[in-house]
Structures are given as structure tokens and as C-alpha cells.
Structure 1
Amino acid sequence: MTDQPAVPTDDPTVLTDRDLEVLAEQLGREPRGVVGIAARCVCGRPLVVRTAPRLPDGTPFPTTYYLTHPGAVAAASRLEAQGVMREMTERLGEDEELAAAYRRAHEHYLARRAELGQVEEIDGISAGGMPTRVKCIHVLMGHALAAGSGVNPLGDEALALVRDQWRPDRCSC
């Protein structure tokens, strides 16, 4: 196992046929709308994919950063089962600085998705409940891993909360 951070990249050209094979394994289905790998495990396998705002079948898809690594997905699911989303949402209503930082994360998410095209049906909607609530830890962790530390405060917090179960700086593939 290596102790290096996940490597964020938004270059769609890094998506390979092997990446698509690994993604199918990770997801248990064929990946849809993937335009690049937004973050990789330290071993090089996909950790977070970057997905088009409109899937090939025409469906609008607001989740630009999609967490795919099974260990990370399981860790996010455990946080959700523990009620962390409710606690985070409550804190957004109480902590103005956190709420402002979360709004900035929402704007960052929208700007990055806009680079891939505009989809009227999801205009102004990011993902994960941003900017007013938390409804998906998977999205927040995926965004934090893709964008890097300091962009999504609740994504960063979720990553810190799962460090005992899963860490991006250690391969568990």
C-alpha cells in the first residue's frame, strides 16, 4: 500500500478502455456518460469519475463527480446510515461561515459541470443537496476528492470522518 494522496485530474483524455472495464467492475454495470477520471486511487484505478450533464439516453444528470471506488462508496453509505446528513444540514442553518463555504462549493460544482455543457433541466442545480442541505455524502466526498481539499467543506469533513474505514492515500482495491 502507498501513502500518497489521490491524484485529481479533469483531463477527459485520461479515460482509457481499461478504466471503463474497472468502472464496470466497480459499479456492477456499464458506466454511462463518463467523460473522464476526476480522481484516482493511488494504485491508478478510478476513484471518482466525471460525468456528462446529459447521459447518452438524453437523461439530465446533475452528478458531475460520481464516486465509484467500492471502499469509498461503502464508507459514505455508513455515514449516511449514521445520520450524518441530518447533522450536517442542521449545522448549515446554524453556522454562517460553513453555509457560505458550502454555497461556494455549489458554485464550483456548477462551474465545473458547465465546462461539459449546459442542460436546461438542471440549470442551477448542483448535486448532493447543495447549497442548502446535505442529501448525499457520496456526492460530497466525490466532489472533495476531485476538486481537492478546501473546496467542499462538508466533503472534506466526510473524508475525515471515514479515515478509520477508508482513506484516499492508501490503496484498498
Structure 2
Amino acid sequence: METPSPTDVLAIEEQLGRPPRGLRAIAHRCPCGNPDVVETAPRLPDGSPFPTVYYLTCPRAASAIGTLEANGVMREMTARLAADPELAAAYRKAHEDYLARRDAIEVLAGFPSAGGMPDRVKCLHVLVAHSLVAGPGVNPLGDEALAMLPEWWRAGRCVGAEQGGSGANAVQAPVRGERA
């Protein structure tokens, strides 16, 4: 995790079309250099719970994931969870990992993890964000969805070329299959 620079915050605002809520850190950077996943506080500044600790910000990645969702990938994954005990066990471990990471920031007793974990697939955006942050092998369905995506960064930065990943905070993000 890295502290967002003012340039990062501007890039995130442009990606989302609004200021980020509960921003804590840059959790992952796109290979283009912009943030693509942020870590959010489990409780927003107004006190309301926000269980989605890893929030995908890149609009190109989000659009590609939306296409997967529209094509029935979540329904197919949920059906596989019900039929495959090994997959279900691995997905439950992903759920436990997500909760442990969130609980390390703040415990939200009684709140679910995110993305439908551990029993169904409700949001591929969350699962992909978790996979990008945790690295391969932690969230099997996030890893699968990530592998289905086109290389959204190949067209260049999703927001202004002058924004995101510049200066002291610039890093080359790992691409698929590499640990963040």
C-alpha cells in the first residue's frame, strides 16, 4: 500500500467522476502507472459502514468487467461454487483473507466481506480488485475473471497523461500473474 499523492487523488477523482470516499491508500497500480485499486476505510467519514475495502477505480477495467458480468460469468461462477467443493473451499479462504485485511483496519462486526463472498458471486469488480491486491492464488474467482479481461492498459492511461503515477510515487505495477 502506498499513500496517495495529490496527483493520485486527482487521477482517482477523474476515474470515478467524483471525489473518492474514505480513501486510505493506493492498493494497486495499473501497468500504465495510474492507480487502479484503492483501499477504502471500512467506515466512511460520515460513519456509515463501507465493507468494500478494495475498490476498483480504473474505468477501462471496470467496463471490461461489466461486459463479463453482462455475459453471465457471475451466474456461471455461482453455479460452479455450488457444484465444486474444492472451489467453494478456496473461495471461502478468499473471503477469510478479505475479512482479515479489512479487520486489520477496522472490524465491521456482522457485515459481509464483499462481492458475494463466500457463497455466491455478486460483483466481479470486487473480486478482481482483491486479486490485484492479494496476488494470484488468493481469490480463485477473482483470478479467473482477471484472466478473462483484455489488457485494458494497452491503450494508454484511462485519465490524463499528466496524472497518476508521476513523481516519487511512480511504480511499475505488476501485470497479471505477478504479486502486487
Q: TM-score, normalised by structure 2?
A: 0.83
Q: Distance in 2 between matches of 1:171 and 1:18?
A: 21
The letter for the 2-side match of 1:35 is R
Matches within 5 A, 1:20-169: 20-122=9-111, 125-162=112-149, 165-167=150-152
Q: List structure 1 segments (4+ residues) > 4 angstroms apart after TM superposition.
A: none
Classify the secondary structure of the residue corresponding to 1:156.
Answer: helix
Q: CA deviation at 1:154?
A: 0.2
The letter for the 2-side match of 1:166 is E
Higher mean displacement: 40-49 or 91-100: 40-49
Q: Is the 8 A contact 1:159 1:167 kept in 2?
A: no
The letter for the 1-side match of 2:129 is G
Q: Distance in 2 between matches of 1:121 and 1:57?
A: 19
Classify the secondary structure of the residue corresponding to 2:98.
Answer: helix
Identity %, equivalent residues: 60
Q: Is the 8 A contact 1:71 1:172 kept in 2?
A: no
Q: Is the 8 A contact 1:75 1:166 kept in 2?
A: no
Q: How many residues align?
A: 157
1:172 to 128, 138, 156: 156
The letter for the 2-side match of 1:120 is A
Gaps of 5+ in 1: 1-9
Classify the secondary structure of the residue corresponding to 2:24.
Answer: strand
Q: Distance in 2 between matches of 1:167 and 1:148?
A: 18
Q: Distance in 2 between matches of 1:35 and 1:73?
A: 20
Q: Distance in 2 between matches of 1:132 and 1:121?
A: 16
Q: Distance in 2 between matches of 1:161 and 1:145?
A: 14
Q: CA deviation at 1:109?
A: 0.2
Instruction: Note the alpha carbon deviations across 1:71-130, whole angstroms, 9 max, x for none.
Output: 1100110011001110000000011111000000000000000111122352xx100000
Q: CA deviation at 1:171?
A: 6.4
Classify the secondary structure of the residue corresponding to 2:132.
Answer: helix
Matches within 5 A, 1:9-20: 10-11=1-2, 14-20=3-9
The letter for the 2-side match of 1:88 is M
Instruction: Note the alpha carbon deviations across 1:15-58, whole angstroms, 9 max, x for none.
Output: 11111110000000010001001100123210100011000111
Q: TM-score, normalised by structure 1?
A: 0.86
